[in-house]
Amino acid sequence: MTKKEEFIRRAWCGVELPKWFQPRHWQNEAINAYQQKCILEGNSNFLLEACPGAGKTYQICATAYILKQLGLIEWFIICVPGDHLRRQLALDAMEWGFDLYATTGTCVVRDYQGEVVTYAQLSASKDTYKNRVLKHGGRVLIVADEVHHLGDQNTWGTDFTLAFSDAKYRLFTTGTPFRSDNNRIVGDWINYAVVNETLECVPDYRYGYDSAVRDGVVRPVIFPEYEANVSFWVGDQTYEMSLSEAKTKVEQSRCLKTAFNPEGGWIKDIIKEADQRLLEIREHTKHRNAAGLIVCQPYRDDDGSSYAKRIGELVHKLTSDKPIVVTYEDQDASELIEKFDKGGENSSRWIIAIKKVSEGVTIKRLRVCVFATNILTRMFFYQVMGRIIRVIPDLDNQTAYMYIPRHRTLEQYALEVKEAVAHLLENIDDFSNKNDGDSGEDGQEKESFELFMAGDSSAELDSHIFDGEIHGRYLIEEAINFKQKHNLLGYDEVALAKIMQDVENRYKQQDLKIKAQSERFNQNQKQLKHERIEQFKRVLHQSVRRLARLQLDLPKNRNKWQSWDKANHAEKIKMIWRELAREFGSYNEESSEEVLQKKYRYVQTEIEAILIPNSDNEYEDVEEEFKLWGDEELIAGEE
Alpha carbon distance 173, 49 (integer Å): 6
Residue 147 pLDDT: 87
| DSSP 8-state assignment for residue 297 | P
Residue 587 pLDDT: 55
Residue 591 pLDDT: 66
Residue pLDDT, tens place only, 212-255: 888 888 888 999 999 999 999 998 899 999 999 998 989 999 99
The Cα-based distances of 295 to 311, 312, 440, 482, 539 in angstroms read 10, 11, 15, 31, 89
Q: Using an 8 Å Cβ cutoff, are 114 and 181 in contact?
A: no
Q: Which residues contact 443 (CB under 8 A, 6 or more apart)?
A: 248, 249, 250, 253, 435
Type of residue at 206: R
The sign one gets for the Cα dihedral 588, 591, 597, 599 is: negative
Alpha carbon distance 334, 313 (integer Å): 21
The 3-state DSSP class for residue 490 equals: coil
Residue 171 pLDDT: 96
- C-alpha angle 497/500/501, rounded to 5°? 85
Alpha carbon distance 614, 343 (integer Å): 113
Residue 312 pLDDT: 94
- The parts of the chain modelled with pLDDT lower than 70 are 1-12, 152-153, 177-182, 187, 196-197, 301-305, 329, 358-360, 419-449, 503-504, 507, 554-566, 586-591, 613-639
Residue 46 pLDDT: 95
Alpha carbon distance 339, 206 (integer Å): 33
Residue 444 pLDDT: 40
Angle between helices 493-551 and 566-584 (to 10 degrees): 130
pTM: 0.68
Q: Which of 458, 468, 622 is nearest to 549 (CA)?
A: 622
Alpha carbon distance 64, 70 (integer Å): 10
The 3-state DSSP class for residue 454 equals: strand
The 3-state DSSP class for residue 394 equals: coil
Residue pLDDT, tens place only, 487-523: 777 777 887 777 777 766 776 777 777 777 777 777 7
Question: How many residues in total does the chain contain?
Answer: 639
Residue 629 pLDDT: 40
